[in-house]
């Protein structure tokens, strides 16, 4: 895929909605034109977006904007706070598995019925049990459903049978085979449940966003949502799989580093915000990928994602004194006192020690002095202890992530690295407080610390320059003469001579066609095969055919590299 040429007809907007601040950039080709930051209004995310657009488009022709990429905390926050729709979960697991171990939500129902590992029915769906489960859901006012069968990626028939009676009363109906072609019942249950739970929130926000873009004269622009794997989805497709946009913020940060300072070495990335610090690792300049899928609210899913760990330390982390000493975070009680908050936070400590001049320094000094007096210590001593606690927490977390990664095979976005240890010697810092944290973390970690130009909006740059990605799993059974790609609901006949090589070609062609329907052209170099297996199927001592499984994906990548100009200043929108 070719990067956009430097033309005002190729302008792109990237917006990242963070926990504390929302960031936006306007990019012409790969040249940064404008950048802005605003406080995130979690009660009205659209207001934050509108504020950014007002500043980014000042003096610009909206008709020149070709594409808008958005990374949002909307669905993540909804799950964390429990503000999601109740979901009726219908699961057919079959024998040999304790479905109850995967219970999620208040209406979770195991429907007897089973398929074999090759997708053949071994026991029909118990329609009486299904009817009883649906009646219970209806009595509870449930109209969102998640339907999952153990082997549905190899045959969706049982999921379709369970879904059909739910359809008349369902406002939302999500089937597991439509989200992922991979096996793993527990992860598929969680993925489908969360997809149904955030469905309404995503669609309501999208409708309001479209109205807002129209008001700015941007109705012609492509609208994409950033995914957790560092790629984007067209808005229409993202609304069919809103679970894919969960935890997209850390992905924007990682892709922003690829776009602004391409790396060749093993590196640790710290994206330091007001509330949290996200930690990512690069192996030989390539970010790591979660092999199985990320966990959401402690529940493992099949959502592909870049590997990132988060810790509750940021510029607004609350400073408090306990019996065992001074602590910083993980709580955030609002902004730091220098920005009008009511309690001392980490940025106040930086101000007191003269390491920063953020906001109203006098308010920082007053708040820290009050807390220090209550503990019978000096304000600067308190501030230094707070910085030390924050640095220790960050170092402990990053060392722990490195050890955890090195205990297993390493997967990057491009390949698996066998017998490869990650041994970073550099620390890249981005985010609003990055420059302030740089000397502190240099001292603590003894790593070379780098802080790219305009580090405070690197995540928005990453969002702007991400390209679209997708993945596809294909199953083929030559004994039955059948091929199936579950997420596309493509099924076709094959002959007994169908080979693994044929399956790889078919999978790539299907992925190309699917992306082309979304307006995206792929070359073979843009795709990678992540799995290609073929097993003989033996019955009574005779080989009856082959069971073939192929996984192929579009590699996450940025459309080009940009070098922010010193002439571009980050506007703090209010």
Q: Cα separation of 322 and 455, whole Å?
A: 34
- Give the CATH number, domain containing residue 379: 3.30.420.40
Residue 3: what pLDDT? 36
Domain boundary among 391, 419, 451: 451
What's the total number of domains in the chain?
4
Q: What angle do CA 335, 336, 337 make, to 5 degrees?
A: 115
Domain's final residue, options 197, 215, 242:
197
User: Is residue 100 domain-shared with residue 138, that is, in the same domain?
Assistant: yes
- Does residue 466 lie in a domain region? no
Tell me whether residue 69 is in a domain: yes
Q: Which domain holds residue 424?
A: 264-451
Three-state SS at 375: helix
Q: Which two tokens stand for residue 160?
A: 């379709």
How confident is the model at residue 499, as a pLDDT?
95
Contact 119, 175 (CB under 8 A): no
Does residue 284 belong to any structural domain of this protein? yes
Kind of pairing between the strands at 65-71 and 11-17:
parallel
Residues pairing with 546 in the sheet: 536
Burial tier of 269 (Cβ tally within 10 Å: 0-12, 13-18, 19+)? buried
CA distances from 410 to 74, 386, 419, 427, 557 (A): 30, 35, 8, 19, 19
The answer to whether residues 247 and 288 belong to one domain is: no
Tokens of 187: 């992860």
Both 340 and 313 in one domain: the answer is yes
Q: How far apart are CA 175 and CA 461, in angstroms?
A: 34
Phi/psi at 162 (nearest 5 deg)? -75, -35
Contact indicator for 270, 475 with CB cutoff of 8 Å: no
Instruction: Compute the distance between CA of residue 312 and CA of residue 335 in angstroms, rounded to an integer.
Output: 14
Pair (16, 148) in one structural domain: no
Q: What is the pTM of this model?
A: 0.86
Same domain, residue pair 406 and 489: no
* Domain-terminating residue out of 197, 226, 241: 197
What is the pLDDT at residue 7? 43
The SS3 of residue 106 is coil
Q: What local confidence, expressed as pLDDT, does residue 5 receive?
A: 37
Is 256 among the domain residues?
no
Q: How far apart are CA 394 and CA 278, in angstroms?
A: 10
The whole-number pLDDT of residue 543 equals: 66
Angle formed at CA 36 by CA 40 and CA 278, multiple of 5 degrees: 55
Structure tokens at 574: 């209010």
Strand order in the sheet with 471-477: 490-493, 482-485, 471-477, 542-554, 527-539
Pair (213, 187) in one structural domain:
no
Bridge partners for 299 per DSSP: 296
- Distance (Å, whole) CA 73 – CA 68: 16
| 303 token code pair | 């959502």
For 506, phi then psi, to 5°, come to: -65, -40
Going residue by residue through the chain (574 aa), what tens digit of pLDDT does each one get?
Answer: 333 334 444 899 999 988 788 999 999 988 899 999 998 887 888 899 999 999 999 999 999 999 999 998 778 778 877 788 999 999 998 887 889 999 999 999 999 999 988 788 899 999 999 999 999 999 999 999 999 999 988 889 999 999 999 999 999 999 999 888 888 999 999 999 999 999 998 998 898 899 899 999 999 999 999 999 898 988 888 888 999 888 888 899 999 999 998 788 999 999 998 888 999 999 998 899 887 888 888 899 999 889 988 899 999 999 999 989 999 988 889 899 999 999 999 999 999 999 999 999 999 999 999 999 999 999 999 999 999 999 999 999 999 999 998 988 877 776 666 678 899 999 999 998 999 999 999 999 989 999 988 888 999 999 999 988 888 899 999 988 999 998 888 999 999 999 999 999 999 999 999 989 888 888 888 888 888 988 887 666 566 788 899 989 888 888 888 876 666 788 887 7
pLDDT of residue 564: 64
pLDDT of residue 415: 67
d(CA 257, CA 428): 9
Residue 456 lies in a domain: no
564: alpha, beta or left? (left if phi > 0; alpha if psi -120 to 50): beta
Residue 463, domain member (yes or no): no
Query: Same domain for 54 and 188?
Result: no
* Sheet with 88-92, side-by-side order of all strands: 107-110, 88-92, 144-149, 172-175
* 533/568 same-domain check: no
Kindly state whether residues 190 and 221 are assigned to the same domain. Answer: no
Contact 78, 245 (CB under 8 A): no
> How far is residue 147's CA from residue 91's CA, in Å, rounded to a whole number?
6
Return the closest-CA partner of residue 256 out of 413, 555, 107, 459: 459
- Determine, yes or no, domain membership for 442: yes
> Are 182 and 215 part of one and the same domain?
no
- Which residue's entry shows tokens 């026991």? 123
How do 21-28 and 31-39 pair as beta strands? antiparallel
Cα–Cα distance between 572 and 310 in angstroms, integer? 25
Q: How far is CA 460 from the centre of its chain?
A: 14
Would you call the peptide bond into 484 cis, given omega within 30 degrees of 0 as the criterion?
no
Q: Is the same domain home to 286 and 171?
A: no
Q: Give the separation between CA 334 and CA 216, rounded to whole angstroms.
A: 31
Residues 364 and 513 occupy one common structural domain: no
Please check whether residue 460 lies inside any domain of the structure: no
Q: Which CATH number does the domain housing residue 94 bear?
A: 3.40.50
């Amino acid at each position: 895929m070719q990067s956009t040429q430097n033309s005002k007809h190729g302008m792109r907007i990237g917006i990242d909605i963070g926990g504390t601040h929302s960031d936006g950039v306007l990019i012409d080709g790969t040249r940064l034109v404008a950048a802005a930051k605003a406080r995130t209004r979690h009660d009205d995310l659209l207001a934050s977006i509108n504020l950014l657009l007002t500043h980014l488009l000042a003096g610009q022709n909206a008709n020149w904007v070709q594409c808008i990429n958005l990374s949002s905390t909307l669905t993540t926050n909804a799950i964390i706070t429990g503000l999601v729709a109740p979901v009726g979960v219908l699961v057919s697991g079959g024998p040999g598995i304790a479905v109850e171990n995967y219970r999620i939500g208040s209406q979770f129902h195991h429907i007897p019925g089973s398929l074999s590992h090759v997708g053949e029915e071994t026991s029909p769906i118990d329609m009486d049990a299904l009817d009883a489960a649906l009646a219970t859901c209806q009595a509870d006012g449930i109209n969102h459903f998640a339907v999952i069968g153990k082997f549905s990626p190899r045959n969706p028939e049982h999921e379709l049978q369970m879904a059909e009676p739910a359809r008349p009363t369902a406002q939302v109906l999500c089937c597991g085979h439509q989200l992922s072609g991979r096996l793993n019942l527990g992860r598929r249950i969680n993925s489908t449940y969360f997809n149904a739970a955030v469905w309404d929130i995503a669609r309501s926000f999208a409708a309001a966003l479209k109205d807002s873009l129209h008001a700015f004269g941007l109705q012609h622009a492509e609208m994409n949502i950033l995914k957790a794997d560092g790629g984007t989805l067209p808005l229409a497709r993202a609304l069919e799989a809103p679970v894919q946009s969960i935890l997209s913020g850390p992905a924007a940060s990682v892709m922003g580093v690829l776009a602004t300072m391409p790396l060749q070495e093993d590196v640790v990335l710290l994206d330091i915000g007001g509330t949290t610090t996200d930690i990512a690792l690069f192996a030989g300049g390539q970010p790591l990928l979660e092999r199985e899928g990320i966990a959401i609210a402690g529940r493992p899913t099949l959502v592909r994602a870049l590997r990132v760990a988060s810790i509750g330390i940021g510029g607004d982390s609350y400073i408090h004194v306990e019996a065992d000493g001074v602590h910083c975070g993980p709580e955030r009680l609002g902004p730091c006192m220098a920005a009008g908050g009511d309690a001392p936070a980490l940025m106040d400590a930086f101000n007191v020690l003269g390491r920063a001049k953020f906001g109203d320094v006098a308010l920082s000094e007053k708040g820290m002095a009050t807390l220090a007096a209550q503990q019978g210590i000096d304000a600067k001593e308190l501030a230094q202890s707070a910085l030390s606690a924050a640095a220790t927490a960050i170092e402990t977390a990053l060392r722990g992530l490195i050890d955890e990664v090195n205990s297993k095979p390493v997967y990057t976005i491009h390949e698996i690295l066998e017998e490869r240890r990650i041994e970073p010697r550099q620390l890249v810092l981005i985010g609003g407080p990055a420059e302030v944290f740089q000397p502190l973390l240099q001292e603590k970690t003894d790593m070379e610390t780098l802080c790219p130009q305009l580090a405070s909006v690197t995540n928005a740059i990453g969002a702007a320059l991400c390209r679209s990605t997708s993945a596809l799993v294909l199953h083929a059974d030559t004994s039955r003469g059948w091929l199936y790609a579950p997420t596309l609901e493509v099924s076709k006949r094959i002959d007994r001579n169908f080979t693994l090589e044929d399956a790889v070609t078919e999978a790539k062609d299907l992925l190309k066609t699917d992306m082309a329907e979304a307006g995206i052209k792929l070359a073979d170099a843009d795709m990678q095969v992540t799995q290609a297996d073929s097993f003989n199927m033996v019955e009574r001592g005779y080989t009856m055919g082959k069971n073939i499984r192929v996984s192929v994906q579009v590699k996450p990548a940025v459309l080009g590299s940009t070098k922010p100009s010193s002439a571009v200043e980050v506007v703090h929108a209010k």
